[in-house]
Structure 1
Amino acid sequence: MTLRHEIVGNATQLVVVTLRPGQTVYCEAGTFRFKTTNVTMETRLSAPSGGGAAPGRPKGAAAAGIGGLPRPALGTAVQTGRRAPADESPAFQYLTAQDGEGTAGFAGVLPGELRALELDGTRAWCAQRNAVVAAESTVGFALLDLRGGRTGTAGGEGVALGRLTGRGTVIIAGAGTFVDLNPAGLGGRVEVGAGSLVAFEESVGYGVRRAGGPDRPSLMHAVSGGEGVALATLEGDGSVLLQSTTVQGLATALNRTQGGDRQGPASGFSPTPAG
């Protein structure tokens, strides 16, 4: 049964869910906002396993990687449901309604939109860990070990990817505004800034590469601090959700607003402290 919910707000949205007696949702502590007193909260250190078997690989997808990209280690991690190392496992809050219906509210960690994904058990989704706001306990969530080891969970620009499986409702968040696309309608393959990627169906192939690195000196290379840009390649037929604002971009803007970029060429001056 679909989770009863209402998404409210405009530029910054919040979701209010109505829980049936005994129904449970989970979230990370940073997304919880409020609950009625008849909703209990329990903290668990293990990732949600969901209430059903993980769906198989989408029909027609190659076994070499997600959706067919030739990345053997990545494909193995997804096929086996392998989790990230124990010290990267997040703590989740489980909220359960007792003695009648209960209400709880959740929001994303950054200002932006919310979207409800309805999983039917036939196809998994991959999403940024920080994009998952709340989900029914029947939905499994596991951080992906993409290449093995601690750094393997990063999907670019420090983005940790998780796999959502099972049946039920998942509420995800995007900073700024959501952008929907399907690589199949854009020539079959598209490259996006890795920090802009929120979620994608597992039928879509995925890989990350860095462009404009130290081996290619340029003005953009100097501006980016010599690190280049992490590009995510998305290939195949399936839904992809992007966000119009990135964590890195927002952090840079806040740093400049607070005077962190006073020495940069764009500022042109250094304010004299008052007094």
Structure 2
Amino acid sequence: MTLDVQLVGTTTQMAIVNLKPNQVVYGEAGKFLFSSGDVEIETKLSAPTDPNQNTAAGGGGGFGGLLRGAAAAGKRMLAGESFAFQHFRTRGGDGLLGLAGVLPGEMRHLELDGTRTWFAEKDAFVAAEAGVHFDIAFSGLGQGLMGGEGFILEKFTGRGSLLVAGAGDFIDLNPADYGGTIRVDTGCIVAWDDRISYGVETVGRLNRQGIMNAVFGGEGLTLATLRGNGRVILQSVTVEGLAKALVKNATKPDQQGMGALGGLFSGSRD
């Protein structure tokens, strides 16, 4: 049974899920907004494995299941994700569930059919059906250090609906439509499917112009490269850029080095 999802809003979207009896959705802690009274919410260390059963991932309960759940949770903690998942289901009639990302931005509802694997930057995951398996993938330490965004990715396989979110507006691209390769600021990537190869390349040289681009151009010396014939989702706002803008605009003029001049031109005083 296909998950009934409606994305509402413009650049601050939320997902409204109409849960059917025995459908199970799990999400990262902190992405839940609201629900109707008949939706049951449970917190567990692992994702459910079967849409028709409320069992932990890895099969089986008891101490062994607890250890497997703790191991998976520790892996997520290494990636900076929440320690536990929230599980949502309704045993009666249809239930209403609201979910969203943590930053103002768009969302995407992706349908996995079992033939494609999706990768996403950490923090992109919002929620998924029980048939979608959440895991952590590593892009390589050297590549991660070059990219400046870390080397830990979210990995999704299986069947069912997947909800991801990011900052700002989204655009969907296929590198094959642009010669097979697109270069992107590493902070602009939200998700891509397994037909795309992800890498990091050095831009320019360590000469005067290269240093000017890195220091004053704001792009650094590396960009992400996405190659292949598949789907890529990009966002218009980087988390780093958003954080810098918030800090800059939250700082008082005299704290930005204006000192007495800030007071002189800020307005007259009696």
Question: TM-score when scaled to structure 1?
Answer: 0.75
Partner deviation per Cα, 1:47-81 (whole Å, 9 max, x = no partner): x37549xxxxxxxxxxxxxxxxxxxxxxxxxxxxx
Structure 1 residue 19 and structure 2 residue 19: aligned?
Answer: yes
Tell me if the contact between 1:83 and 1:142 (Cα under 8 Å) persists in the aligned partners.
Answer: no
Cα displacement (A) at 1:261: 8.4
Q: Which residue of 2 aligns with 1:10?
A: 10
CA distance in 2, matches of 1:242, 1:22: 34
Q: Which residue of 1 aligns with 2:237?
A: 245
Q: How does 1:118-157 map to 2 (within 5 A)?
A: 118-147=111-140, 156-157=148-149
CA distance in 1, matches of 2:148, 2:199: 9
Cα displacement (A) at 1:156: 4.1
**1:176 aligns with one of 168, 182, 191:** 168
Structure 2: segments with no counterpart, 5+ residues:
52-71
**1:112 aligns with one of 100, 105, 108:** 105
CA distance in 1, matches of 2:234, 2:211: 27
**1:92 aligns with one of 85, 90, 94:** 85
Cα displacement (A) at 1:191: 1.0
Q: Which residue of 2 aligns with 1:161?
A: 153
User: In proportion to residue count, which structure has more helix?
Assistant: 2
Q: Which residue of 2 aligns with 1:221?
A: 214
Tell me if the contact between 1:50 and 1:165 (Cα under 8 Å) persists in the aligned partners.
Answer: no
Equivalent residue letter for 2:173: L
How many residues align? The count is: 242
Equivalent residue letter for 1:27: G
Higher alpha-carbon deviation: 184-193 or 154-163: 154-163
Tell me if the contact between 2:76 and 2:136 (Cα under 8 Å) persists in the aligned partners.
Answer: no
Equivalent residue letter for 1:259: T
Q: How does 1:182-197 map to 2 (within 5 A)?
A: 182-197=174-189
Structure 1 residue 37 and structure 2 residue 30: aligned?
Answer: no
Equivalent residue letter for 2:17: V
CA RMSD of superposed structures (Å): 3.5
Task: Write out the 4+ residue segments of structure 1 that deviate beyond 2 Å after TM superposition.
Answer: 48-52, 82-87, 145-149, 151-160, 208-225, 227-230, 260-265, 267-275
Higher alpha-carbon deviation: 151-160 or 123-132: 151-160
Q: Percent identity?
A: 44
Tell me if the contact between 1:84 and 1:145 (Cα under 8 Å) persists in the aligned partners.
Answer: no
Tell me if the contact between 1:84 and 1:143 (Cα under 8 Å) persists in the aligned partners.
Answer: no
Higher alpha-carbon deviation: 37-46 or 153-162: 153-162
Q: How does 1:255-270 map to 2 (within 5 A)?
A: 255-259=247-251
Cα displacement (A) at 1:35: 1.0
Cα displacement (A) at 1:219: 3.0
Cα displacement (A) at 1:154: 9.9
Q: For the pair shown, which has the larger CA radius of gyration, 1 or 2?
A: 2
SS at match of 2:11: coil
Q: Which residue of 2 aligns with 1:235?
A: 227
Question: TM-score when scaled to structure 2?
Answer: 0.76
Higher alpha-carbon deviation: 132-141 or 152-161: 152-161
Tell me if the contact between 2:121 and 2:190 (Cα under 8 Å) persists in the aligned partners.
Answer: yes
Equivalent residue letter for 1:108: G
CA distance in 2, matches of 1:155, 1:215: 20
Tell me if the contact between 1:118 and 1:169 (Cα under 8 Å) persists in the aligned partners.
Answer: yes
SS at match of 2:155: strand
Alpha-carbon spacing, 1:42–1:271, altered in 2? closer, same or farther (3 Å): farther
Alpha-carbon spacing, 1:262–1:203, altered in 2? closer, same or farther (3 Å): farther
